Amino acid sequence: MTASAEKFTRQTLLDVRPMTPSLFTLRTTRDKGFRFTAGQFARLGVTKADGSTVWRAYSMVSSPHDDFLEFFSIVVPGGEFTSELSRLQVGDTLLVDRQAFGYLTLNRFVDGRDLWLLATGTGVAPFLSILQDFEVWEKFERVILVYSAREEKELAYQSLIHQLMQREYLAEHAHKFIYVPVVTREKVAGALNQRMTSLIENGELERAAGVALTAEHSRVMICGNPQMIEDVRALLKHKAMRLSLTRKPGQIAVENYW
């Protein structure tokens, strides 16, 4: 089979950067033919010593306009994929599926005034891609990123988040962006200190953002721990919010590739 006929491309590893002992970022070259919508994910493959290939899904952190692909990953102790990845060095080859996947994209919503992006852990990745794309700032009046981690050191990409609205193409929309960091296992200045579910239940999340979470105006994207997603969806259901489907638009979009 020729390379052009294969379902994947071979990309070069440009950078692997540890953020904590359990978190790292990964950057590769990008095939000119690879297209994706902000919020989608790619399937990455690493080849093992026995010649077999291990595949895992990773949301793009990079924007659709970047000439590279960047991903954010947790290290799984003894994990088949990350164990192989840890052996790779800059210049080595990674496989990238030719097709992007996922429906955690802005076209899930046909209307709405305020966009809430609720993330735990590496679930922030697709939202970083969305925030770097111009479309979200044209579509919504306010964009609220809520990013929760157990410890302050696990809040990744803080420089990108804080400098995002200084970019020339986004500067005029800076007033729309609200960032609410959450750290659950230690008290950190400027960050909330409860689980996402508690913050929604007691109203503290809305107070911190200065924005009401309502079915009429809010559209909510959720990505992260599967239990968190399930619990938050249940809470939002009590606010008359439902999953947004193609033929039945709603207020919630989630990513379930975990």
What domains sit in the chain, N to C, each tagged with a CATH number?
A: 3-97 (2.40.30.10), 106-254 (3.40.50.80)
Mean pLDDT (the chain, rounded): 94
Give the residue-averaged pLDDT of 140-147.
98
Task: Write a three-state SS string for the chain.
Answer: CCHHHCCEEEEEEEEEEEEECCEEEEEEECCCCCCCCCCCEEEEEEECCCCCEEEEEEECCCCCCCCEEEEEEECCCCCHHHHHHCCCCCCCEEEEECCCECCCCHHHCCCCCEEEEEEEHHHHHHHHHHHCCHHHHHHCCEEEEEEEECCHHHCCCHHHHHHHHHCCCCHHHHHHEEEEEEECCCCCCCCECCCHHHHHHCCHHHHHHCCCCCCCCEEEEEECCHHHHHHHHHHHHCCCCCECECCECCCEEECCCC
Q: What is the pLDDT of residues 205-222, one digit of tens each?
A: 999 999 999 999 999 999
What pLDDT is stored for residue 3 in this prediction?
Answer: 46
Residue 94's pLDDT band, with cuts at 50, 70 and 90, is very high
pTM: 0.95
Top-confidence residue, 5 or 9:
9
How sure is the predictor about 4, in pLDDT bands with cuts at 50, 70 and 90? Answer: very low
The residue that leads in pLDDT, 4 or 200, is 200
Considering only CA atoms, which of 227, 234, 43 is closest in space to residue 120? 227
**What's the average model confidence in pLDDT over 87-106?**
94
> For 166, phi and psi rounded to 5 degrees?
-90, -10
Residues 253 and 219: their CA atoms lie apart, in Å, by 8
Identify the pLDDT of residue 208. 98
**Whole-number pLDDT of residue 173:** 97
Query: Whose structure tokens read 């790619």?
Result: 42
Q: In this predicted structure, what is the pLDDT of residue 78? A: 83
35-85 pLDDT tens trace: 999 999 999 999 888 989 999 999 999 999 999 999 999 888 888 888 787
* Residues 145-181: tens digit of each pLDDT: 999 999 999 999 999 999 999 999 999 999 999 999 9
Per-residue H/E/C for 107-122: HHCCCCCEEEEEEEHH
The pLDDT assigned to 5 comes to: 57
The CA distance from 179 to 163, in Å, is: 12
Q: What pLDDT, on a 0 to 100 scale, did the predictor assign at position 55?
A: 94
